[in-house]
Structure 1
Amino acid sequence: MLLAFLIASMAYLVVSIYIGWSLTTNKPIHKSVTLGLLLIGMLSHMLLLYPDIVTLYGLNFNLFNTISLIALLFLLFYTLFSLYRPIISLGILAAPIALIGVTIGYFGRAPYRPLTDIGIGLEAHIILSFAAYCVLFMAAVQALFLRLQNRELKHQTIHRFWVNKLPSLQTMEGLLFDMILVGFVLLSFALGIGFIYVEDLMAQHIAHKTVFSVLSWLLFGGLLIGHWRAGWRGKRAANITISAFVLLAIGFVGSKFVLELVL
Structure 2
Amino acid sequence: MISLPLVYTILALIAYTTGFWYSFLHLVAKREPNRWFMGVILAIGLSLHSIVLKQDMLTLHGVNYDVFNLLSFTSGLMLLLSLIYSSYRPVTALNLIGIPVAATGLIFGFAFSQPNQYATEHALGLDIHIILSLSAYAVLLMATIHAILMWLQDRELKKKQKRLWVNLLPPFQVMESLLFDMLITGFITLSIALVFGFFMVDNFLTQHLAHKTVFSIISWFIYGTLLIGHFKFGWRGQKAIRFTLFGFFLLALGFIGSKFVLEMILRR
Q: Trace 1:166-205 onto structure 2 (pairs within 5 A).
A: 166-205=169-208
1:18-65 Cα deviation digits (max 9, x unpaired): 222223332331211111111111111111011211122221112111
Superposed displacement of residue 229, structure 1: 2.9
Query: Would the aligned equivalents of 2:150 and 2:172 in 1 still touch at CA under 8 Å?
Result: yes
Residue of structure 2 in register with 1:91 after alignment: 95
Aligned residue number for residue 227 of structure 2: 224
Q: CA deviation at 1:261?
A: 6.5
Moved more, 252-261 or 17-26: 252-261
Three-state SS of the structure 2 residue aligned to 1:4 is helix
Q: CA deviation at 1:12?
A: 1.4
Q: Which moved more, 1:102-111 or 1:212-221?
A: 102-111
Amino acid at match of 1:232: W
For the 8 Å contact 1:125–1:191, the answer to whether it is kept is: yes
Could you say what secondary structure the match of 2:205 adopts?
coil
Aligned pair in 2 of structure 1 residues 257, 112: CA closer, same or farther (>3 Å)?
Answer: farther
Correspondences of 1:111-122 after superposition (within 5 Å): 113-115=117-119, 118-122=122-126
Match of 1:244 in 2: 247
CA 1:230/1:160 → structure 2, altered by over 3 Å: closer, same or farther? Answer: farther
In structure 2, which of residues 47, 54, 59 is the aligned counterpart of residue 50 of structure 1? Answer: 54
Question: How much identity, in percent, do the aligned residues show?
Answer: 43
CA pair 192-63 structure 1, distance change in 2 beyond 3 A: same
Q: Is the 8 A contact 1:150 1:234 kept in 2?
A: no
Aligned pairs (5 A) from 1:57-206: 57-110=61-114, 113-115=117-119, 118-157=122-161, 159-206=162-209
Distance 1:257 1:57, change over 3 A: farther
Give the drift of 1:109.
3.7
Per the TM alignment, residue 79 of structure 1 is displaced from its structure 2 partner at its CA by: 1.5
Contact (CA 8 Å) 2:135, 2:189: kept in 1 or not? Answer: yes
Q: Which amino acid aligns with 1:208?
A: H
Which structure is higher in RCO with an 8 Å CA cutoff and minimum separation 6? 1
How big is the alpha-carbon RMSD for the aligned residues of Structure 1 and Structure 2?
A: 2.1
- Does the CA-based 8 Å contact 1:152-1:162 persist in structure 2? no
Q: Which amino acid aligns with 2:138?
A: C
Could you report, residue by residue, the CA deviation over 1:119-171 in whole angstroms, capped at 9, with x for unpaired residues?
342233123212211211111111112112211222222x1545421112111
Partners of 1:254 and 1:56 in 2: CA distance: 31
Distance 1:66 1:181 in 2: 23
Deviation larger for 220-229 or 168-177: 220-229
Change (3 A) 1:41 1:257: farther
Structure 1: state its 5+ residue gaps: none
Worse overlay, 142-151 or 10-19: 10-19
Residues paired across the two proteins, number: 262
Matches of 1:131 and 1:259, distance apart in 2: 23
Contact 2:216 2:251 in 1 (8 A): yes
Q: Summarize the Cα distance change of 1:89–1:113 in structure 2 as closer, same or farther, 3 Å threshold.
A: closer
The two structures have a TM-score, normalised by structure 1, of 0.91
